A and B are shown apart, each in its own frame.
Chain A
Amino acid sequence: MKLIKTYFVPILILILFLAVSPSLYAQKDLQINKVFEQYGEMKGVTMVDMTNEMLDGYDFSLFKSITIKNNPTAADFIRKCLEKDQEGAKKVKQVVASGVLTSVYLQLPRKGQLYRLILFNQSFQQENKITLIYIESKNDSENILKLILKKK
C-alpha cells in the first residue's frame, strides 16, 4: 500500500505525458519547422497554417505551407533542412537540375496514425519562387499526392 502511494503520482504524470506527447510533437522534431519559424512572417513571404481542415476535397490534420520569393539564402537553408529530414523518409519524386535540388516529395515515417509529407519546389519561371509544404493526414499519402500532381 505504501509502495502504491509512493509511485502513484509519478506514474500518473508519466501516463499523462505519454498520452499527450505524440500529437503535440509530430512535426516539432523536423528541421523544416525552423523554416516556418524564421521566414514565416517576413516580407515577400506567404505562410499558411491550417489544422483539421478540408481542402479541395481532402481531409488534412495539418497543412503548413510557405512561399518565398527571390531569396536564394532561404532556398539553401531549406535544402539543408531537407537533407536532415529526408533521413528515413521515402523519396517519392526528386528533380535535380545542374546538381541543385529543385523539387522533392518526401514521404516521412508515420507518427502514430498520421501520414506525413514534405513537398518542396523551386521555380525559376518569371521569378525565383520557393514553395515548401508540410502535410499531416489520416488518409494515405498516395491519395494526397493525387491532389498535388493534378495538372492545372
Chain B
Amino acid sequence: MKIRYKHTLSFEKGDKLIEKYYDGLTTVADEKELRSFLSQPNLPEQYKVERDILGFFEAKKKKRISTVQLIPFKRWSSVAAVLIVGVFCIKFYMTAYSTNFAYVDGEKITDAGKVKQNALASLNDLSSDEVADGLNSLNDSELIDQQLSVFTNN
C-alpha cells in the first residue's frame, strides 16, 4: 500500500512563490509559507536549489539566536564566580595571617618585637597612677559618704 503524502501547498503555488522570491517581492508571510513548502519531505529534485538556499538561512538564523542567548549568562556567571572566589581568598588570607606595623615620628616600623613594645607602652599610659586614682574616686559608696557628710556636718 502506497502512502500518499499530501503537500501543504500545491506545486503551482510553490513555483509562483519561488518566482516572487527571486523577484524580491515576497512578504514575510510569503517567505514563511515558502519555507514550510520547501521544508516538507518528498519534494521533487527541481526544488533542491531553493531548498538549499532557504534552508541555509534558516540554520544560520537559529544558530545566531541560540548564541546570543547563551553567551551573556555564561560570561557573567563566570565573572561572578571568579569574584567570589577571589574575595574569599583575600578574606582568608587577611584573617589567617597577622599584620603588624607601627609609625614612630613618621617612620614605619615592621619589626614585630618593636611593634609589640610600642603597643604595650600605649597600654601602660592608660594604667598610670593618675588614671587609677581617677578610677578609684569613682567608687560609689565613697562618693555617697562624701555627699552625705555635707549634711551631717551642718
A55 touching B126, Cβ below 8 Å: no
Contacting residues, chain A, for B131 (C-beta < 8 A):
95, 103, 121, 123
Verify if B134 is at the interface (C-beta below 8 Å from A).
yes
Stretch at the interface among B7-15, B25-33, B80-88: B80-88
Verify if A65 is at the interface (C-beta below 8 Å from B).
yes
Complex-state Cα separation, A131 to B124, whole angstroms: 10
Given A23-B91, A103-B134, is A53 in contact with B100 using a C-beta cutoff of 8 Å? yes
| Closest 9 pairs between A and B when the two form their complex, measured CB to CB | A65-B122, A95-B134, A52-B98, A131-B125, A12-B80, A9-B76, A47-B103, A48-B102, A50-B100
Verify if B111 is at the interface (C-beta below 8 Å from A).
no
A50 touching B84, Cβ below 8 Å: no
Within 8 A of B (CB), among A33-51: 40-51
Complex-state Cα separation, A119 to B127, whole angstroms: 11
Verify if B148 is at the interface (C-beta below 8 Å from A).
no
Complex-state Cα separation, A108 to B71, whole angstroms: 49
A147 touching B135, Cβ below 8 Å: no
A127-150 CB contact bits vs B (8 Å, 1 = yes)?
001010100000000000001111
Can you report 18 A-B residue pairs in the complex whose CB atoms are below 8 A from each other? Answer: A19-B88, A20-B91, A23-B91, A45-B103, A46-B102, A46-B103, A46-B118, A48-B115, A48-B119, A50-B116, A52-B98, A66-B122, A95-B134, A121-B126, A123-B131, A129-B125, A131-B126, A148-B127
Complex-state Cα separation, A53 to B96, whole angstroms: 11
B107-126 CB contact bits vs A (8 Å, 1 = yes)?
00000000110111111111
The interface centre, meaning the residue of B96, B97, B99 with most chain A CB atoms within 10 A of its CB, is B99
With A55-B116, A121-B131 given, name 6 new contacts (CB 8 A): A20-B87, A55-B119, A65-B122, A95-B138, A150-B127, A151-B129
Complex-state Cα separation, A129 to B77, whole angstroms: 55
B119 touching A50, Cβ below 8 Å: yes
Complex-state Cα separation, A8 to B81, whole angstroms: 11
Determine the residue in chain B with the shortest Cβ distance to A12: B80
Determine the residue in chain A with the shortest Cβ distance to B79: A9
Determine the residue in chain A with the shortest Cβ distance to B94: A51
